Amino acid sequence: MPSIGKNSISVIIPVHNGGAGFRRCLLSLSESRIKPMEIIVVADGDSDGSWRTAEDFDTRIIKIPVSEGPARARNLGAMKAGGDILFFVDADVAAAKDAVELIINAFENDEAPAAVIGSYDDDPMEKNFLSQYKNLFHHYVHQNSSVDASTFWGACGAVRRDIFFSTGGFNEGFRRPSIEDIELGYRLRKAGHRIRLIKNLRCKHLKRWGIVSLLRADFFYRALPWARLILRDGGLINDLNLRVSARISVISVYLLIFILLSSLYIPWLVIIALPLFILLIILNLDLYRFFNKKRGPLFMLKTIPWHWFYFFYSGLAFSIALAEYAIRFIFRKPARPISCN
C-alpha cells in the first residue's frame, strides 16, 4: 500500500454563516501537529462574510453564490482537492491537534479502511444544558460503538478520494445539513468498503443547541430521513443509535404513555407503569451512569426525560416513514426521496 503522509491529506470545510465558531475551527487546524496538504473552504452562499475569515488562514476558498447545502459544498471541495485522502470537517467543529496524525496512521495501516470517522469529545464548548446533553450523548454513543462503523460522519471523517468518487460522493438531494453523511456510509458499506471508528480521533462541537434547534434537527433532518433510508435499504443495523436496546426503549416509552393515559380512566393501571420505568432505566443505565460521572446527579436526572422524549420522537419519525412506505406499496407510487429540502 502506498504511503499516505501529510502531503496527501486535503481538509474540506463547508461553511454557511459560520460566525465566531468558524474562526475557531480554522484556528484548530492551523495548530495541528502535522499540517495537511491543503485546507479547502467552500463558502456555501454565506451572508456573514465567512469567506473573509478564511482569508486570514492558509486556505483555498471556493465561493458558491447561493446556498446549495453541505453535500454540494463538500463535493465541490472534493473535486478541487489534490490529496489522496479527503478529511471533511464541519465549520462548527474544532479538530484536535493530533487529528491529521491519527488519520494518516489509520490509512497507512496494512488493513487500512476506505474511510474513518471520529467522535465529539466530552467537553462541549457551550455550557447550557441542551448543548451539554446533546454532545455528551453523541460522545457516549460513538465511544461505546463498534470500531467497524456502519455509517460515515461528515463532521469529522476522512475517506479515500478514489473510493469517494467511485461511490458517487455525497447525495446532493440533501439541501440542508441532514443524513447525507449517513447515506454515503450506507453506500460505502454496500460497495464492500470498510469504515473504521477511531475513538481517540476527537473534535470539539462548537454549536449551541436550544429546544427549537435541537428538535428541528433531530426530528426533521435526522430521524425522519434516516427512517426513510432504513426502509429504502431494508434493514436495521445494531449499532450507534439503532441498537436493539434503543428499539426496545422506543416501544417501552410508547407503552408507558398509553398506560399513563389509560390510568386517567382506570386508575389501577398506573401500577403497570412501574415495571416500564424500571425497564427503561435498566436498558439505559450505562448512559445515565456516564452522565452522572461527567456532570453529576442533578444533570443526570435532567437528561432522563429528554432521553425518553428522544425515544418518543424517534419512534414517531419511524412510524411516519413506515406509513409512507405502506401507502406507496398499496398504491404502487414511486419512492419518495429521502432528502430534506
Confidence (pLDDT) at 149: 92
Does 3 score more than 60 pLDDT? Answer: no
Which of 160-174, 263-277, 299-313 is predicted least confidently? 263-277
CA angle, residues 234, 179, 145, in degrees to nearest 5: 75
Does 280 score more than 50 pLDDT? Answer: yes
The amino acid at 58:
D
Confidence (pLDDT) at 1: 39
Look up residue 248 and give its three cell numbers: 426496545
What distance in Å separates the CA atoms of residue 110 and residue 156, rounded to the nearest whole number?
A: 22
Confidence (pLDDT) at 328: 81
What distance in Å separates the CA atoms of residue 49 and residue 87, rounded to the nearest whole number?
A: 23
Does 240 score more than 60 pLDDT? Answer: no
| Residue 235: band (very low, low, confident or very high) from pLDDT cuts 50, 70, 90 | low
Q: What number is the average pLDDT over the span 246-257?
A: 95
CATH topology of domain 6-209: Spore Coat Polysaccharide Biosynthesis Protein SpsA; Chain A (3.90.550)
Upper half-sphere CA count for residue 181 (Cβ side, 13 Å):
26
Q: pTM, whole model, 2 decimals?
A: 0.90
Q: What number is the average pLDDT over the span 204-232?
A: 93
Confidence (pLDDT) at 335: 56
* pLDDT tens digits along 129-177: 999 999 999 999 999 999 999 899 999 999 999 999 999 999 999 988 8
| Residue 68: band (very low, low, confident or very high) from pLDDT cuts 50, 70, 90 | very high
Q: What number is the average pLDDT over the span 70-84?
A: 96
CB under 8 Å to 108, separation ≥6 — which residues? 1, 3, 4
Does 330 score more than 90 pLDDT? Answer: no
Of the candidates 99, 44, 53, 107, the one whose C-alpha atom is nearest the C-alpha of residue 71 is 44
Is 1:112 a contact under the CB 8 Å cutoff?
Answer: yes
Does 6 score more than 60 pLDDT? Answer: no
Residues of the chain with pLDDT > 90, as a percent, come to 81
CB under 8 Å to 54, separation ≥6 — which residues? 15, 22, 26, 41, 43, 61
Handedness of CA 249, 254, 259, 264 (dihedral sign): positive
Mean pLDDT for the chain overall: 91
Q: Could you tell me which residue, 239 or 47, shows the higher pLDDT?
A: 47
CB under 8 Å to 265, separation ≥6 — which residues? none
Q: Could you tell me which residue, 111 or 22, shows the higher pLDDT?
A: 22
Q: Torsion angle of alpha carbons 296, 298, 299, 305, nearest 10°?
A: 140
| Residue 253: band (very low, low, confident or very high) from pLDDT cuts 50, 70, 90 | very high
Q: What number is the average pLDDT over the span 21-34?
A: 96
Q: What number is the average pLDDT over the span 59-72?
A: 95
Does 115 score more than 80 pLDDT? Answer: yes
What distance in Å separates the CA atoms of residue 225 and residue 151, rounded to the nearest whole number?
A: 14
Domain residue limits, the chain = 6-209, 240-331
Is 172:69 a contact under the CB 8 Å cutoff?
Answer: yes
| Residue 2: band (very low, low, confident or very high) from pLDDT cuts 50, 70, 90 | very low
Report helix, strand or coil for 184.
helix
Does 334 score more than 70 pLDDT? Answer: no
* pLDDT tens digits along 281-303: 999 999 999 999 999 999 999 99
What distance in Å separates the CA atoms of residue 9 and residue 159, rounded to the nearest whole number?
A: 10
Confidence (pLDDT) at 81: 96
Burial of 186 (0-12, 13-18, 19+ CB in 10 A): buried
